[in-house]
Structure 1
């Protein structure tokens, strides 16, 4: 298995290539597995993973279901789930060995599939092999030219639009909205949680041009009560016909919109589904409580909007501030991220992950000093985690899913 996973990761050297031509060709060469199941397609700058996981939890009550999200925290297998079980190691090994020649032959013709294209095709092929009724598919980046955008979904969702990946998706909310609206298919309903007026206008225009009915959860639902705790989020909402008492283990008021997105998408997919199964959702790394004594939290926030949601939640839940172990990747707006996080911490320990896209800890530390009283720079993440445990009984680890993965490995060895 190690050799096959290493081969998949080696494809990362071909970078991120937005476009569907290579993905469509590769999928055709392996039998177009994306046509073998019903699906839901979900995008958004933030919230798309949580929404995908909650929608999956609802449809799972009645259907054989697959879930495809990215990236993973520790194991590649986390990306591809069927009926609550990660993809089999044996399938990965056999699939890579079987498809490697196709991948390399395409490379010789200057049609090289990337890591994400290959893993997306693997997910679709696994869903076909296991005979799922429905696959819940999270977009990797953007939507219009994302590798996942070869499916013909029953319903699509656009959760949020904010400024991220501006070098690839555009430098305004409207441009990014256009890319995300690219998942809207002719006549397929789309559910939105987007609040930015310009972005919402673009999405409406695309939906109208494709004769797709648009459902805006901000207009449909009225949230009358909500509370959050370390056990999760509890709220009441109503639409013109029904009341919804929702209890989810995901923590934070921002998860309310994600939950309503999932509920509305499920109603469109199958009106007989019971929304209350949303309480079964499990999605690691989203303000997760790793221990209570000491109190240790992890969160996958990696951009300013996610940092704002995280900081709002920490401020609401606690009267004291955690020591924050933090990092960022090179392509992130690290200054705005650190400024948001500084609201909830007077002591940051800045570190690096092993991924080649890491931002240098020294640069992050200098930036953090603009906003935070006390900043330490410890390049090795294991040293940063150790230091946090030495000086505090309230710790938050955030900034990158890769950092969360390294933290879990460190916890196991501790």
Structure 2
């Protein structure tokens, strides 16, 4: 079985599968699945998904994401912000550069941020299609951890926008609509990241904003120079995984599919989330999840996205970012059925979960990306000095788990 690689029309059932698959592959980030399903309820009709090879020449694509705290998003903020960011940057590009946006690029793989381009496209009467690629192949805490940043693709002009606030007295300079917006020019990805986080920390943003950035020419996207800038067919891969989860969410069936997709996968433990230590700082959710099981505890450290799975009994890691840590409900939690993937914004203490590890796309196993993830991981670990956990270097997940088979049981 292969991911989608041809022009495809997706309906809301397909997009529900996409949400589930993207949530599983995101390593905890990319927005809460609960919010993505709320987005989906507001959608109707069909949208187009195109591989890079099928894009028209001399056109322009934009990357649009929700940016900020997943916990704030789970509280209901951020539903109109990405649409506002798209509209305001589109208006700017039309006026200043005479460009019309015809394609949208997901900013990462995750329940919300992979769906958002489709959400926007559904409002555009077929005038905008979504590209089957993204710059990460998973969710990432910062823009600097993407392949677009690693290859120095221009991130600006970029726009941050708030949710629509008809009673706040603010207006966008480019659309005159009732939302706050901020334009950024000539910034690197690192500079844009810093300015964007500062912006969404302002009161009118409620810790969440929509961000439109990386206006990219399709000529570039189809050129040899772009081959190191994107993970191709990543959206189709998430759709394939999501269809499996919705049709048969059993551990063996999903593991077999991941094998067919050439994704190394391991099941570390099934246990209860006994404690979540969480705080929000600078627009990020940072903390530790404790999974308790008869065979021993696992600690998962996260900065929005899960970045480290630590085996407490053995005193060693089993997954280090950019490889992924995946959480699925092992038994139903209220109305949420067993087999549902969870982001770090969806988890709750007391949930019985299966903790997986999966390999990231090979394309992002490059020094610039790995070093950025390691910086984030060390920041998190420094907040938990009492744990005495240290990781000096990235080790691929398949090397960390030589003694585990695909089902997560020790080989005899």
Q: Same fold (TM over 0.5)?
A: no
Larger radius of gyration: 1
Q: Which has the higher helix share?
A: 1
Which is richer in strand?
2
Which protein, 1 or 2, shows the higher relative CO under an 8 Å CA cutoff with sep ≥ 6?
2
